[in-house]
Amino acid sequence: MSFINLKDKVVQVKVVYYGPGRCGKTTNLEYINRTYRKQIVSEMVSLKTHGDRTLFFDFLPFDMGKIKGYDIKIQLYTVPGQVKYNATRKLVLRGVDGIVFVADAMEKQREKNIRSLNQLHENLQSYKESIFRIPLVMQYNKVDLKEHGIPILPTSVLQNDLNSRLKVPYFEASAITGYNVAATLKKIISSSVISIQKKLL
Amino acid sequence: MNYGIVSQEQLEQIDAILSDKLIKLGVDCVIIIDMAGNIITAKDNGENKYDVYSFAALAAGNFATVDAMAKLVGEQEFSLLFHKGKDSNIHFSKIDDELLLISMFGRDISLGFLRLNVVDVIEKIRNIWDKK
């Protein structure tokens, strides 16, 4: 749940990038951190292992300007993607306002995407949240790999696997080159802010 | 509990308690956060500027981790945490299931004295919540 400070007129919105291991969640945040340096007041925090894998989470606070006189502070988090870290993923999801599900478009990752999305569904349930209600955006990452001859899943297959029931907005993207990273971010911010507004009215 | 939105009046009361009981005592910075890592309020002595947003995210994660460890050894919770450094120290104390009070302080305050005051502050803050 977002926190709204009526005295200082600040709304804090928590957005979590979720997805299977090595799908590019941290890469999304790193790109945002590089590209929007001016709007980011502090350093990106990364809690990772020696092998550069996310251990706990990455954190990037982001100022979005004002809506109706309220300062919107977006807090971007990633979860650790590795299967064994589900307890940690659950902790990071606490109080989440919006989720970007980053799917790995590589053909061999097909099953991992589905498993990760199912686990997200379960994890949200443990907080009495529903994957069908929470603002969610799908990002089909690594589409650039096609040019390098690596087999990737067509968007129609990914849509069928992951988004046939959810029917949420989706983007093909390449976090490493920045393609559609900003579009994904904008979409999840607007969905989250609208959902918070609705809860308040 | 009225979680999610705190009224201006409530926040002003809480800020006054934090200033009066902790900042005046010589604490560098006090933050109240929720377990999701949001900042409810932050007060400092005007000298030390900390990156409170990153701090809140890390502190919530830290507390959640220690909480999980407590459960592993059969404890219900470890309700307070203390990190000691050479020049600065951090004290965490649980206000209730959703809120944490974090105090950052230097060498000139004793931990015992700080703890006494923190207990008092938490009691007062709980009263403000209950009135709602």
Q: Give the pLDDT score at A197.
A: 86
Q: Which domains does chain B possess?
A: 8-131 (3.30.450.30)
Question: For residues A171 and A140, is the Cβ–Cβ distance under 8 A?
Answer: yes
| pLDDT number for residue A4 | 84
User: What six digits make up the tokens of B10?
Assistant: 């409530």
- The complex scores an ipTM of 0.78
Model confidence at B5, pLDDT cuts 50, 70, 90, reads low
* Residue-wise pLDDT tens digits, B14-51: 999 999 999 999 999 999 999 889 999 999 998 877 88
| pLDDT, position A43 | 85
- Confidence band, pLDDT 50/70/90 cuts, at residue B1: very low
Find the CB nearest A56 among B15, B39, B61.
Answer: B61
Q: Given this model, what pLDDT does residue B2 score?
A: 39
Q: What is the pLDDT of residue B111?
A: 92
Instruction: Note the pLDDT of residue A62.
Output: 87
Q: How far apart are CA A70 and CA A6, in angstroms?
A: 9
Q: Output phi, psi for A82, to 5 deg.
A: -60, 140
* Third-level CATH fold of A3-200: Rossmann fold (3.40.50)
Following DSSP, what letter does each residue of A130-143 receive, concatenated? -TTTS-EEEEEE-G
Answer for the pair A174, A180: CB distance below 8 angstroms, yes or no. yes
pLDDT value at position A12? 92
Residue ranges per structural domain of chain A = 3-200
CA B38 to chain A, closest CA, distance in angstroms equals 6
Give chain A's residues under pLDDT 70: 1, 201
Interface test mutation site (partner B, options A2, A5, A63, max chain B beta carbons within 10 A): A5
pLDDT(B98) > 90: no
The percent helix, strand, coil of chain A (3-state, each to 5) is 40, 30, 30
What pLDDT shows up at residue A201? Answer: 66
Where does the pLDDT of residue B4 fall: very low under 50, low under 70, confident under 90, or very high at 90 and above? Answer: low
pLDDT of residue A1: 63
The residues facing B42 across adjacent strands are: B31
Distance from CA of A37 to the nearest CA of B (A): 16
The answer to which of A39-43, A162-166, B56-60, B117-121 has the lowest mean pLDDT is A39-43
Whether residue A95 and residue B53 make contact (CB cut-off 8 A), yes or no, is: no
Between B68 and A59, residue with greater pLDDT: A59
CA A97 to CA A95: how far, in whole Å? Answer: 7
b (16+ CB within 10 A) / e for A132-164? eebbbbbbbbbbbbeeeeeebbebeebbeebbe
Q: Give the pairing of strands A3-5 and A10-18.
A: antiparallel
On the 0-12 / 13-18 / 19+ scale of CB atoms within 10 A, A97 is buried
